[in-house]
Amino acid sequence: MESLLKLCPELDFLVEIDRLKGVLRMNKIVSDDRRENSAEHSWHLAMMVMTLAGRSGAPIDILKAIKMALIHDVVEIEAGDVFIYDDKARVENEQKEREAAKLVFGRLSPDLSRELHDLWIEFEDANSLEAQFVKTIDRLQPVLCNYLNDGGTWVQHKIEKSRVLEKVTNTSAQFPELHGLIHEILDNAERKGHFSN
């Protein structure tokens, strides 16, 4: 098998990213009492991007956005996942993720490596409409999971509504329909007592 991987860098990359299935996130999946892994999150995010693109109110390049959704967390194979509300760890992990991106995408042929690495940087830096849209959906996905899990990690970690709003507002404000949907979910969550005071 190893000799096959050396013949085909794409297979090597695909085998490597299978490790994403073992990277656990803080959120639990909606249908079970277990934590989701980063591969499941990326798939769900890609499905949400495809399904909600019509509600963006903007001319989104869907294929580009789906690619971003699928690759946005592959660096976690090397860098691990950091809880969104752990601001200190997120800052400390930023350089580690950038180094991981070079390593993981570096397994591919040069052209594909450059394409995916550039797409990952574009997502991280949120410097395109597609990146901002995917980031908005990336914030909506755990909001939805937490809401449907009776507060999930918000309750577990005593998260205040203002902290959640801080994480979702930066990118979502330019997509009014999605922004309103997120706020409606958070208002319902507040009424249900999902947030710390």
Read off the pLDDT of residues 147-188 as tens digits, 9 standing for 90 and up: 999 999 999 999 999 999 999 887 778 899 999 999 999 999
**pLDDT score of 91 more than 90:** no
Classify domain 2-21+36-191 at the CATH superfamily level.
Answer: Hypothetical protein af1432 (1.10.3210.10)
Q: According to the model, what pLDDT value does residue 5 have?
A: 63
pLDDT category at 87 given cuts 50, 70, 90 is confident
Average per-residue pLDDT for the chain:
92
Q: How far is CA 130 from CA 32, 63, 71, 119, in A?
A: 31, 10, 14, 10
Cβ(35)–Cβ(153) below 8 Å: no
**pLDDT digits over 94-122, tens only?**
999 999 999 999 999 999 999 999 999 99
Handedness of CA 169, 170, 175, 176 (dihedral sign): positive
Q: According to the model, what pLDDT value does residue 165 have?
A: 93
Q: What is residue 131's three-state secondary structure?
A: helix
**pLDDT score of 48 more than 60:** yes
